[in-house]
């Protein structure tokens, strides 16, 4: 009986030290970060996320809603915890998923491969691409305790922003599929902007805008959106041929307008050159007459007989070069 009374406390002590001593050790890997809670409360640093630069991406009406406390983050290494403490470990490695991925139902969006969205011209189109993100250790409280399923929140937020951007997308000035400047209205009525073409031509601009719109996810949910890369925008199969025909007609009309503009520009240049040549020829013919008039004016002003002498000398030169001269014996009679 005495042995039993001694063995029970000893066994309890051995179990206690093994359970909360040896098993109280834990490790944090190189790509992991951890938060330690004591009786369910995380160790706080006395500051909030609003004091971090990441809060600059929040709107003014969101700052109070997403004011999370800064908590002590445990880095890689070996640690020990008390029985009433709990460790929450998360991976901070960058994750790459399809933009159609749904954390709650992997079968939607064609198995997570294609995300559907409606363009400004009411065309239901399929989007393909990738999104890269990772957990931010600057806001682990939001990721661990702020929302129930951070992945679902982030993907839902990204999809809603993307669909809204697709529905309202307008190509930057100078890149729209707009009519060429022909000096009037488009006679064909076919050269017009098509939103899906604008989206395809401006995928880089669309991706940059998505990065800007999703910059607040780190302050909202503790997930840092690294990049969104939309690689494909495809219309439904039944309208793909019609869209190709529209593009072909647009290219044909644009080509014809360019050729007409080139021919008109060439004729304008030739006309301007011909006017310049004729103007120079007229100036060349008028210039000697102007110079002669100036000389005669100067001779007339130099003396009373100077102009008559000049006329007489000019006649003598003409007489020397003439083969035959007809003189009048008296005014009005020629012989």
Instruction: Examine residue 249 and state whether it is found in any structural domain, yes or no.
Output: no
Residues 154, 269, single domain; the answer is no
The domain that holds 119 is classified in CATH as 3.30.479.30
Instruction: Examine residue 282 and state whether it is found in any structural domain, yes or no.
Output: yes
Q: Residue 189: its pLDDT value, please?
A: 40
Residues 201, 302, single domain; the answer is no
Q: Residue 64: its pLDDT value, please?
A: 86
Q: Residue 56: its pLDDT value, please?
A: 87
Instruction: Examine residue 9 and state whether it is found in any structural domain, yes or no.
Output: no
Residues 272, 131, single domain; the answer is no
Question: Given a cut of 90, is residue 74 above it in pLDDT?
Answer: yes
Question: Given a cut of 70, is residue 22 above it in pLDDT?
Answer: no
Residue 252 C-alpha from the chain's centroid: 27
Q: Residue 191: its pLDDT value, please?
A: 38
Confidence label for 188 from pLDDT (cuts 50, 70 and 90):
very low
- Most confidently modeled of 66-80, 198-212, 283-297? 66-80
Q: Do 136 and 222 touch, CB atoms closer than 8 A? A: yes
Choose the final residue of a domain: 201, 235, 269: 235
Instruction: Examine residue 288 and state whether it is found in any structural domain, yes or no.
Output: yes
Q: Residue 185: its pLDDT value, please?
A: 46
Give the burial string for 12-50 (b: 16+ CB within 10 Å, else e).
eeeeeeeeeeeebebebeeebbbbbbeeeebeeeeebbb
Confidence label for 312 from pLDDT (cuts 50, 70 and 90):
confident
Mean pLDDT along residues 134-152:
89
- Look up the pTM and report it: 0.60
Residues 178, 303, single domain; the answer is no
Choose the final residue of a domain: 235, 269, 291: 235
Residues 312, 200, single domain; the answer is no
Confidence label for 33 from pLDDT (cuts 50, 70 and 90):
very high
Q: Which helix (H) or strand (E) holds 112?
A: helix 108-112
Looking at per-residue pLDDT, the higher value among 141 and 308 belongs to 141
Instruction: Examine residue 251 and state whether it is found in any structural domain, yes or no.
Output: no
Choose the final residue of a domain: 173, 200, 235: 235
Looking at per-residue pLDDT, the higher value among 206 and 268 belongs to 268
Show the domain range for 184. 17-235
Confidence label for 5 from pLDDT (cuts 50, 70 and 90):
low
Question: Given a cut of 80, is residue 130 above it in pLDDT?
Answer: yes
Distance CA(139)–CA(164), nearest Å, equals 27
Q: Residue 4: its pLDDT value, please?
A: 54
Residues 155, 228, single domain; the answer is yes
Mean pLDDT along residues 267-289:
87
- Most confidently modeled of 90-94, 194-198, 223-227? 90-94
Question: Given a cut of 80, is residue 156 above it in pLDDT?
Answer: yes
Residues 186, 309, single domain; the answer is no
The neighbour count for residue 89, using CB atoms within 10 Å, is: 14
Give the burial string for 277-292 (b: 16+ CB within 10 Å, else e).
eeeeeeeeeeeeeeee
Residues 224, 270, single domain; the answer is no
Residues 191, 294, single domain; the answer is no
Mean pLDDT along residues 312-329:
74
Instruction: Examine residue 142 and state whether it is found in any structural domain, yes or no.
Output: yes
Q: What would the DSSP string read from start to end of 275-331?
A: HHHHHHHHHHHHHHHHHHHHHHHHHHHH-TTHHHHHHHHHHHHHHHH-S-----SBT
Question: Given a cut of 90, is residue 34 above it in pLDDT?
Answer: yes
Instruction: Examine residue 246 and state whether it is found in any structural domain, yes or no.
Output: no
Q: Residue 87: its pLDDT value, please?
A: 92
Residues 221, 289, single domain; the answer is no
The total number of structural domains in the chain stands at 2
3-state secondary structure of 86: strand
Residues 314, 262, single domain; the answer is yes
Instruction: Examine residue 244 and state whether it is found in any structural domain, yes or no.
Output: no
- Most confidently modeled of 6-10, 184-188, 269-273? 269-273
Question: Given a cut of 60, is residue 287 above it in pLDDT?
Answer: yes
Confidence label for 2 from pLDDT (cuts 50, 70 and 90):
low
Residues 144, 226, single domain; the answer is yes
């Amino acid at each position: 009986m005495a042995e039993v009374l001694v063995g029970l406390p000893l066994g309890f002590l051995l179990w206690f030290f093994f359970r909360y001593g040896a098993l109280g050790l834990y490790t944090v890997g190189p790509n992991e970060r951890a938060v330690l809670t004591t009786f369910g409360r995380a160790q706080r640093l006395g500051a909030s996320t609003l004091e971090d630069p990441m809060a600059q991406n929040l709107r003014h009406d969101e700052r109070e809603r997403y004011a999370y406390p800064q908590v002590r983050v445990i880095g890689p290494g070996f640690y020990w915890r008390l029985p009433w403490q709990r460790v929450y470990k998360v991976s901070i490695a960058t994750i790459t998923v399809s933009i159609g991925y749904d954390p709650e139902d992997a079968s939607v969006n064609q198995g997570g491969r294609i995300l559907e969205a409606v363009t400004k011209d009411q065309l239901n189109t399929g989007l393909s691409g990738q999104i890269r993100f990772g957990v931010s250790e600057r806001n682990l409280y939001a990721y661990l305790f702020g929302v129930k399923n951070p992945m679902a929140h982030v993907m839902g937020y990204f999809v809603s922003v993307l669909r809204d951007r697709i529905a309202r997308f307008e190509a930057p000035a100078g890149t729209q599929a707009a009519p060429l400047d022909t000096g009037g209205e488009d006679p064909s009525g076919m050269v017009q902007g098509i939103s899906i073409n604008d989206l395809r031509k401006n995928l880089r601009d669309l991706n940059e805008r998505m990065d800007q719109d999703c910059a607040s996810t780190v302050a909202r949910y503790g997930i840092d959106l690294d990049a969104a890369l939309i690689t494909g925008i495809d219309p439904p199969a039944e309208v793909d041929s019609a869209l190709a025909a529209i593009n072909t007609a647009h290219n044909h009309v644009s080509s014809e307008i360019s050729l007409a503009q080139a021919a008109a520009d060439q004729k304008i240049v030739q006309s301007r050159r011909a006017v310049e040549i004729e103007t120079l020829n007229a100036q060349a013919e008028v210039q000697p007459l102007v110079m002669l008039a100036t000389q005669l004016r100067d001779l007339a002003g130099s003396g009373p007989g100077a102009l008559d002498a000049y006329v007489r000398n000019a006649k003598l030169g003409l007489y020397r070069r003439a083969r035959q001269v007809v003189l009048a014996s008296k005014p009005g009679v020629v012989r």
